[in-house]
Structure 1
Amino acid sequence: MKKVFNYKLFVLLLGLSIFISCQHDTDELLDQEATEIINDRVDAKWLASDNHPVVQLLYKRGYEKGTIYETEDHFLAPPDLLYSKDINDYDLTATGDIDVKQAFNTGKTVSLDRMRINVFLDNSIGTDLQTQSVNAINELNGINNCALFFVRVFNANQAQITIRSDFGVEPNNVLGRAGFPSNGRAFNTVTLNVDRLADFGANIRRNTIIHELGHCVGLRHTDWQANRERSAVNIPGTSANDTGSIMWHTINGGTPFTGGDLVAFRALFPRALRMDVVNEIDEYDYGEIYVVDNVFVDVFTNGSYTTSATLNRNVNVSYRINVQEYNHTSGTYYYNRNRTLTAGSNRYYIDDEEEECSPYQGETCTYENLEIRLASSIL
């Protein structure tokens, strides 16, 4: 079903919302879908093969057969979601639905030590959508007590997220698409239906971009069950009936955030963490080396890392100690560990890194490096 925007009705009814996207018409002929050439690039889509392991997984998680499309880079799923083609990017242990209100993807949020997110605005979206993208970034950065901090960059190689045109792939009822984080990092692409968005006002364009950036950091549709999405986790204090939510499957043209949206952003991203390694022991004795470094995380209000703050929610830190062996033997292995940071401090000890080495024949040197895999708010 396609929605037609009526400007006069919009003026009279400020609460009117339009679909960002809805399910594809599965009877639609692919050869009738136009493609658009922008900056010498053409994107195309085709119906995905049922045999692909990611497609099979999406079917198991509730999508109907015949609704998954494919491009060179992603799978496209209704209503506005992009999925990686690499099966290794998915949590294959997730099963079943959890009764939720407003929700985010299970285990798929941006790590709290990656709250500074660089955004590149591709020329393919045009000047106006670049302006609205900046406005969207400013709205998100304006949420107080939320650690997310988006920064526009002008070099694509510096970006964690690129906002670009759909290059004519999407039908009129899809205004934009994005996907969910993996390995604690934001999803790297937002695609916008540039031609269709030109039909709407500035607030609709801005709010569409906010919605898609919300997906990139881990927010699900508030009405995810109606869209046949699965494996979501409750954000306490939000409402399943919040039709004005920026993450509803439709988008409004007014103020972007409801009270429930603000609760969700603040709960998921309460503070920004930054790792600090402090040397504790340096011992050098006749060529033998023994070094111990303490690893801490410091707490900041957001990903600008300018203002120190007290952690205001308990946080779970999943981390890995990578071990490199060299000299007499060689190889790598790692230990996975977890630590809970209890709210109330601005600095937390995580673990030690050690380096130990002897030059004598038959000895093995080891070097440890601590890597935070995911730091997430405990809801």
Structure 2
Amino acid sequence: MKKQVLSVICCLAVAFMFASCSNKSDEQKAVTPDPISADVLAQIKANGFITDNVVKTEDGYLVEGDILLTADQLKEKVSSPTLRIANDEQYRTNYLVTALPRVITIKVTNLGSAFIAGADTAIARYNRLGLRITFKRITSGTPNITIKGFNQGPSGGYITLGSSGFPTSSGNPYSTVKMNTNPAAYGSNPNVLYVGSVIQHEVGHCIGMRHTDYMNRAYSCGGSAINEGNGGVGAVWIPGTPTGPDANSWMLACSNGGNRTFNANDIIALKYLYH
């Protein structure tokens, strides 16, 4: 997740405008990004992901701002449909967490108290839904998901807030959520509900959720509409959900910069997949 910043030169101030979800490498490098081959871009598009501003990292390719796709994931054949809610849809990925019912363990490593409390907030919000996946924070042993920090300042008018990836083909959740410890991300005294909302969003990716406004990121982020179709992945509308824009979803590409949790359609989507 990343925050857009606007510099006000006359008073040498910086105003935070809105937060959006972005997945970048842990350290900003003052080098030209590695070029992305046409074959890789074609694979990304075939899997239903936007190909603008793809970034190559040591772990794979960062797409749609905050999503890591590994080389193995790009090679996998696309077959299962996505989950759609409304014109600005709720989507899932090709793979979901399996072996249900299941407890997914989360460990917060080398982060301050606000991140620990934020993780507990996100966990409690998921567990209140009565899904067949539940979450539990642990302090020892090997977790299913590790929440760890990185420090990266603003770049290009944005600052990264958090990042994660999608479930594996074996049915396990993505194993890492990265949270930015740079003071420009959350301030010197991070708001627990804000941090918890970002963690909640990134965990949503870990269990297979796409951005709600994947088909038109301008809905939450502003700017020009981006719509590349579903990339041959397919879409399944959930009866009883609206056919208009779905405001305040926890998986919108750009957040409101503060506390955001599940809306009614988010709950329908999660229960459809995991109840």
Shared fold (TM-score, shorter chain, > 0.5): yes
Corresponding residue SS for 1:104: coil
Higher relative contact order (CA 8 A, sep 6+): 2
Structure 1 residue 114: Cα displacement: 5.7
1:234 to 230, 233, 236: 236
Structure 1 residue 62: Cα displacement: 5.0
- Structure number with the higher strand fraction is 1
Judged with a 3 Å threshold, the aligned counterparts in structure 2 of structure 1 residues 259 and 78 are, in CA distance, closer, same or farther, namely same
* 1:21 partner letter: C
Corresponding residue SS for 1:163: strand
**2:4 alignment partner in structure 1:** 3
For residues 121 and 213 of structure 2, what CA distance do their matches in structure 1 show? 25
Residue 138 (1) aligns with residue 124 (2): yes
Residue 186 (1) aligns with residue 173 (2): yes
Judged with a 3 Å threshold, the aligned counterparts in structure 2 of structure 1 residues 128 and 52 are, in CA distance, closer, same or farther, namely farther
Judged with a 3 Å threshold, the aligned counterparts in structure 2 of structure 1 residues 163 and 53 are, in CA distance, closer, same or farther, namely farther
**1:332 alignment partner in structure 2:** none
User: C-alpha deviations, 1:306-362, integer Å up to 9, x for none?
Assistant: xxxxxxxxxxxxxxxxxxxxxxxxxxxxxxxxxxxxxxxxxxxxxxxxxxxxxxxxx
User: TM-score of the superposition, structure 2-length normalised?
Assistant: 0.72
Corresponding residue SS for 1:158: coil
Structure 1 residue 112: Cα displacement: 4.7
User: C-alpha deviations, 1:274-308, integer Å up to 9, x for none?
Assistant: xxxxxxxxxxxxxxxxxxxxxxxxxxxxxxxxxxx
Structure 1 residue 75: Cα displacement: 1.9
Corresponding residue SS for 1:86: helix
Judged with a 3 Å threshold, the aligned counterparts in structure 2 of structure 1 residues 63 and 266 are, in CA distance, closer, same or farther, namely closer
Judged with a 3 Å threshold, the aligned counterparts in structure 2 of structure 1 residues 207 and 99 are, in CA distance, closer, same or farther, namely closer
- Structure number with the higher helix fraction is 2
CA contact (8 A) 1:176 1:190 kept: yes
Judged with a 3 Å threshold, the aligned counterparts in structure 2 of structure 1 residues 86 and 167 are, in CA distance, closer, same or farther, namely farther
For residues 265 and 235 of structure 1, what CA distance do their matches in structure 2 show? 13
**2:10 alignment partner in structure 1:** none
1:207 to 184, 189, 197: 197
Judged with a 3 Å threshold, the aligned counterparts in structure 2 of structure 1 residues 214 and 162 are, in CA distance, closer, same or farther, namely same
Structure 1 residue 73: Cα displacement: 2.2
Specify every segment of 5 or more residues in structure 1 that has no aligned partner in the other structure, as ranges. 6-15, 33-45, 271-379
**Counterpart mapping for 1:68-147 below 5 A:** 68-87=54-73, 90-93=76-79, 101=86, 102-113=89-100, 115-123=102-110, 125-144=111-130, 146-147=131-132
For residues 169 and 153 of structure 1, what CA distance do their matches in structure 2 show? 29
**1:58 alignment partner in structure 2:** 44
For residues 31 and 152 of structure 1, what CA distance do their matches in structure 2 show? 36
Identity level (%):
23
For residues 179 and 235 of structure 1, what CA distance do their matches in structure 2 show? 24
1:244 to 248, 253, 256: 248
Structure 1 residue 244: Cα displacement: 0.7
**2:139 alignment partner in structure 1:** 154
CA contact (8 A) 1:81 1:178 kept: yes
Specify every segment of 5 or more residues in structure 2 that has no aligned partner in the other structure, as ranges. 7-15, 218-226
For residues 66 and 19 of structure 2, what CA distance do their matches in structure 1 show? 10
